Amino acid sequence: MSLAGRTALVTGGGSGIGAALTRALVRRGAHVVCADVDLAGAESVVATTSGPGTATARHVDVTSAGDVAAAVADVVAAHGRIDLLFNNAGITFLGNTEDLGLEQWDAIIDVNVRGVVHGVHAAYPRMLAQGGGHIVNTASMGGLMAAGLMTSYVTTKHAVVGLSLALRTEAAAHGVGVTVVCPAAVDTPILDKGEIGRYRGRDFYLEGQGVRRPVDPDRLAERVLAAVERDEAIVVEPRQARIAWRLGRLSPTLVNRLATRFVARQRARVS
């Protein structure tokens, strides 16, 4: 699929991966709605984006099915179709599971799971009716492997992976592609959010895991768009993450032991 002239809706577009996707799409000639609950952030991204394509900012709260449906409907009204949906908005919580309140569980499920469901519910039937399209859901390595101290995040991202791979098997017969993106730590503001108790995001995700540098969001965005053009099912970045994922598939018991040791090391770091 060539992306020139395509229409796209990117949620969580006001920063991080969503901002990088917006920039990369515009460079490839797509017409993008950069949507975010933080309208000022989305407007800032649009103001600094250039290329043969176009970008407009829009306030969208992905926890609201009505917000998402209205955004999709407006893309169709303006362009006659919606070619690309990037369900990218997400949040995280980091800390001991017993310290999570139900309000935090509700919040992360509403954004990370219901937000994706709302996007699929609004856009997928339209893509079926128009005979094609592509849905990209941002998950995480946490959706392929599991480690404690980010239990709620892992839970939601496993759900996104399952939804994506299952929908892909249905959508293929209708000319609709589905890709799920599973990166390791990406250099975005989420690394500094969702901290509970003594754990600190950037230390946890980088130093605590032996990561020298996080994934560059602009490089990831280019990799994701290449995957869309080739209709790939899953994107795992960087190379070290792909190696870890394959190891986990070959020896889940070993990886579970390593994850248990990882939790112990993280606890020791903050004790």
Partners of residue 182 on adjacent β-strands: 236
The 3-state DSSP composition of the chain as helix, strand, coil percent (nearest 5) reads 55, 15, 30
Measured CA to CA, the distance from residue 153 to residue 83 in angstroms comes to 29
205 within 8 A of 242, measured Cβ to Cβ: no
SS3 track for 60-85:
CCCCCHHHHHHHHHHHHHHHCCCCEE
Cis preceding-peptide flag for 125 (omega within 30 of 0): no
**By the 8 A CB rule, do 24 and 2 touch?**
no
Distance CA 195, CA 99 (A): 11
Q: Which residues are known to be catalytic?
A: 153
Going by C-alpha positions, the residue among 242, 244, 240, 264 that lies closest to residue 255 is: 244
Angle (CA) 89-90-93 rounded to 5° is 165
Q: Which two tokens stand for residue 123?
A: 């856009």
